[in-house]
Amino acid sequence: MFEHPGVVRVYCNIHPQMSAFVLVRDNPFWARVSAEGGFTIPDVPAGTWVVKAWHERSGESAQTVQVPEAGSAEVAFPLDASKWKRAPHKNKFGKDYQVGEKY
């Protein structure tokens, strides 16, 4: 169980190519983007909401959207991964290896 919302990075001590990201949410409203780039978040109550998008190579982006009583709202997220650089492999604690440490 995770105590706080946010991105949790998971690393393997043995295989540098093995890593994962766990996105911990503090509400039930989320969606995974389709191959075409679209998404739908069903059953969002009417009101003003902050919608956030996250991608491992472009980071987080947020926009405010007004959800009407009837119908739907649209939002678009331009995510830019052009500045992404591969990070060095970390140990299972997300820390750099110490000099001479073997994995």
What pLDDT, on a 0 to 100 scale, did the predictor assign at position 42? Answer: 92
Cα separation of 50 and 41, whole Å? 13
pLDDT in tens, 43-100: 999 999 999 988 888 888 899 999 999 888 999 888 888 888 877 777 778 788 777 7
Torsion of CA 43, 46, 47, 49, to 10 degrees: 20
More confident residue, 12 or 3: 3
Distance CA(77)–CA(88), nearest Å, equals 28
Least Cα distance to 59 among 90, 36, 91, 82 occurs for 82
